[in-house]
Amino acid sequence: MNKQQSPKFKDYTKAYFSPSTELSAEKRNELILTYTPLIKYIATRLSNRLPSQVSIDDLINCGIIGLIDAIDKFDMSKNVQFKTYAEFRIKGAMLDELRSLDWVPRSIRKKITDLEKTCSALEKKLGRPATDEEMAQELKMSLTNFHKLLDETKSVTFLDIELLRQRNTDNNSSDTLFEPLSDIETDPFSTINLAQIRDLIAQSIDELPEKERLTVSLYYYNELTMKEIGQVLGYTESRISQMHSKAMLRLRTKLKKAFAG
């Protein structure tokens, strides 16, 4: 299997940083060159779930800015490896750029809202996650058109969860989540703390249908691509993408309920 793996780095933290000495210009340039493959990896992974009008080169440029920000702000006393901190800042810079672009058409936002309402209502009615057939019937559309709808909305639901994961990691950030994750006026995190969010995400993932749960686990924890997950589970790449979209939709719906509560 030709797996695109996350770049592996030894711990360069002590080699480049010290509590009392500032980095030289030469060392900074070395770090930027060393971590360029990580920037490209993160950009590629994000762009695979985004529409074609979002340029991977723009994401890479933002990632470089994020890396420089990481170099400037890294604090050895936090007992965190530089690679871990850099990855967080690189992805954060890319997500901030995507948030600022406001590239999601209003029609897609409405479709997501309709999907959320249907998902929530059916789960409440059935006492379990709704099947594709049940969702399609409730939306008064064919199963084929329901799957097309999942494909249309996949980039927004995917980004919402990515931004939530990023925000959950950054205990010091005061930024609100990517709109339209929450349509309430205040920062949704003012009503629920980070420990509760972690618990809620873990519980929500556990409650996903088995194949959706496996898809989420293989994508986010094992870092497999959609094509590779399809090979593992015996489905097409398109079908895995739809499973991922449904999982993100279910998680998004549960999280919005918690934030609004």
d(CA 135, CA 122): 8
pLDDT for res 132? 94
pLDDT for res 159? 64
pLDDT for res 152? 83
d(CA 22, CA 2): 41
Structure tokens at 164: 């939530």
Q: What structural domains does the chain harbor?
A: 13-101 (1.10.1740.10), 106-260 (1.10.10.10)
- The predicted model scores a pTM of 0.65
In tens digits, the chain (261 residues) has pLDDT values of 444 556 666 676 777 777 666 777 888 888 888 889 999 999 988 887 777 777 899 999 999 999 999 988 888 777 788 888 888 889 889 888 887 776 677 888 888 889 989 999 999 999 999 999 999 999 999 999 999 999 888 777 666 666 655 555 554 443 333 333 333 333 444 444 556 667 777 888 898 999 999 999 898 888 788 889 999 999 999 999 999 989 988 888 887 776 665
Closest CA to 172 of 192, 188, 194, 191: 194
pLDDT for res 233? 93
pLDDT for res 189? 41
Q: Print the SS3 string covering 131-193.
A: CHHHHHHHCCCCHHHHHHHHHHHHHHHHHHHHHHHHHHHCCCCCCCCCCCCCCCCCCHHHCCC
Structure tokens at 162: 């990515």
